[in-house]
A and B are shown apart, each in its own frame.
Chain A
Amino acid sequence: MSVISLQDVTKIFGKGEASTMALDDVSLDVDKGEFVAIMGPSGSGKSTLMNVIGLLDRPTAGEYLLDGEDTSKVKGKARARIRREKIGFIFQSFNLLSRISAVENVSLPLVYKGASHVERLEKAAKLMEHVGLGDRQYYMPNQLSGGQAQRVAVARALINEPSIVLADEPTGNLDSVASDNIMQLLKEIHNEGNTIIMITHNPDLAKQSDRIITMVDGRIDSDKKVTKKPGSKLKAKSKKGRTK
């Protein structure tokens, strides 16, 4: 069953002469539990695709079904609720609020859900433990290293137990050790049966996913499953079943 289904989705920014077509007739199906990597040059529409999937933006044309539901019919508060309950966002630049502590950042989505103070901090504390930062709960974001901050962001993305995690260049600002840490966490999340869509520039990281989609000029250029056999040369199988 497709959890994410885009049909002929187009997204145009601006008007008239100054308009840009960020997405051009994109169709895409993602099943539950898939780990998808999206690659492509700058301006190819990756982030826009992610924003549409994450309900942060609306298509100019085309249909987007999330869990079988037509998202164009969902407005305002309901959109925010779905975003909160089904989707977790991880950004390249962490996007933590600098004036509150790490654990408060993690618990923030629960504030908007209406959970009580105690409940929020309990859940957030557990997640911080889970990402290995149990002893840094009350640190402020600017007191954390890049890797630590991103782990806080991952914890935050997970607090509402979403089934879909969207990560936009999650390791872009991190060194290799921290990078590995984050990828480890993502794989754990994936193993629990969640769907992950990750934008990356790094082919090595992309290969850790199940499926690599490349985009060029607002269109999907290629869409290949990844086969992982330790030690052997990577054989890429295209979606249509032909081996290269």
Chain B
Amino acid sequence: MLWVNIKLALASLKSAKLRSFLTMVAVIIGVAAFTIITTTVEGLRASFAEQINSYGGNLIAVNSGKIFDRDESGDITDINFAAGLTPTLTEQDFLDVVDTEGIVVAAPMSPVSGIVRRGETETGSLIIATNQNWAEALNQKVKDGVFLRDEDGDKKTVVVGADVSSDLFGGGGLGSTLTIGGQSFVVVGVLSKSESSGLGLGPDLNNAVFISLESGKELSGGSLLISEIDAQTADPENIQSIVGTIEQKLLENHSGEQNFAVATQEELTKVFNGFIDILKLASQAISYIMLFVGGIVILLIMLITVGERTREIGIRKSIGATSSNIMTQFLTESVVITLIGSLIGLAVAYLVGLLVAAQTGITPVYSAITLVLIVVIGTIIGGLAGLYPAYQAAKKDPVEALRHS
């Protein structure tokens, strides 16, 4: 019986293709929007996870700005990314981190403004001034050459990220020169490709160049502000207490003003996930509205359809269909339309997802659960929207219905 109704529903759809399509349009858009948003946000989450995992589980990051707070039990609350925009850390902070028990290496990161050029080509790369421990502190690998050495500090050496190497030097670059802020630098190292993709909390390390703190100060007119300090600990068991110690010391340095945030890699992941969850809910809200509109459209058009097929209902009842047979028939039609619309919406979302991946580097994540969820939501919307029209159809009086044209 169900199969008969499904075949019937499909036949009805085919016989009025334009109308069927228009009925589905709102659902298609709603489902596509929901899918694109959900999968892209999840892609963002996966991207960040990849990035942060590449830093290793022993990372402790000290960020400028109070991007989160801690409650009494030490858990992270009140995430606020906007606070992290201005550098607030000092050299003293850095030295104190280095001196903390359990910290093996630490490196500061100071942004430097200027343009990176080779001949006529500009790369728009980030310029970061740091010390010789940077690669170790962030668990990054050097592909060619070596990282900066403190003893070369005044020699204007530069280490380039993987994308800079391919953009300017076709994948190599060791020994070549480029200009930064008008000054000539020699490439002494090329980094391996990093998982960092410019999203999440950190800069895009692949499109960055690294110079010594001295060079950085020179390019910045004498003083540098530190935006981030990254460190590795050899004592992961006690990582939380090490974090606590650093927090205390920095608080002292900043005279009690907490304009910084210290976190482990694990905590940073939680912070970002919290941010992602909020983003997801807010953006999904728009798609919920679209899905609701889709349901309304289906309800209205099914009502019209039922009105047009009054005679058919009369005929069916006259040959033995019960009211519930009729109800099931029209309800099936609504659900079938919605399901097909949902599937088309999924296909559209997939195509848009390919575009998103190509343009932004975020790969949308499709999980089986999301797909099943969408099909279930589709069925429910179709069912609910179709209830009233199906009911109207079911209660038609056969004699009157047969009189209809």
Contact = CB atoms under 8 A, between A and B. Distances in A.
Which of A81, A109, A111, A156 is the most central at the interface, judged by chain B CB atoms within 10 Å of its CB? A111
Contacts of B367: none
Interface stretch (B91-99, B111-119, B310-318): B310-318
A81 B399 CA distance: 17
User: Looking at chain B, what size class is its interface with the partner chain?
Assistant: 20 to 34
A28 interface: no
B321 A80 contact: yes
B179 interface: no
A112 B320 contact: yes
Interface in A63-103: 76-77, 80-81, 83-84, 89, 91, 95-97, 99-100
Interface string A213-230: 000000000000000000
A112 B399 contact: no
Interface in A144-200: 156, 160
Contacts of B321: 80, 112
A231 interface: no
Given A91-B402, A109-B320, A111-B1, A97 B325 contact: no
B281 interface: no
B107 to A, nearest CB: 74
Interface in B357-377: none
Interface string B4-33: 100010011001000000000000000000
A66 to B, nearest CB: 15
B319 A76 contact: no
A84 B319 contact: yes
Nearest to B403: A47
A111 B322 contact: no
A89 B319 contact: yes
B398 interface: yes
A89 B323 contact: no
Nearest to B322: A80
Contact of B399 (A56, A76, A77, A99): A56
Contact of B1 (A77, A95, A114): A114
Q: Specify the main secondary structure of chain B where it touches its partner.
A: helix
A27 interface: no
A99 B12 contact: yes
Contacts of A108: 316, 319
A112 B318 CA distance: 11
Contact of B318 (A77, A95, A114, A117): A95
Contacts of B314: 95
Given A56-B398, A56-B399, A97-B312, A81 B320 contact: yes
Contacts of A96: 315
Contacts of A100: 8, 11
Contacts of A56: 317-318, 398-399
B324 interface: yes
B55 to A, nearest CB: 62
Contact of A99 (B15, B318, B320, B323): B15
Nearest to B12: A99
A84 B318 CA distance: 8
A51 interface: yes
Interface of B: 1, 3-4, 8, 11-12, 15, 311-312, 314-325, 398-399, 402
17 contacts: A56-B318, A77-B322, A77-B324, A80-B322, A80-B325, A83-B319, A89-B318, A89-B319, A95-B311, A95-B314, A95-B402, A97-B315, A112-B320, A112-B321, A117-B3, A156-B319, A160-B320
Given A91-B318, A99-B11, 11 more contacts: A54-B318, A56-B398, A56-B399, A57-B399, A91-B402, A95-B402, A97-B316, A109-B319, A112-B320, A112-B325, A117-B4
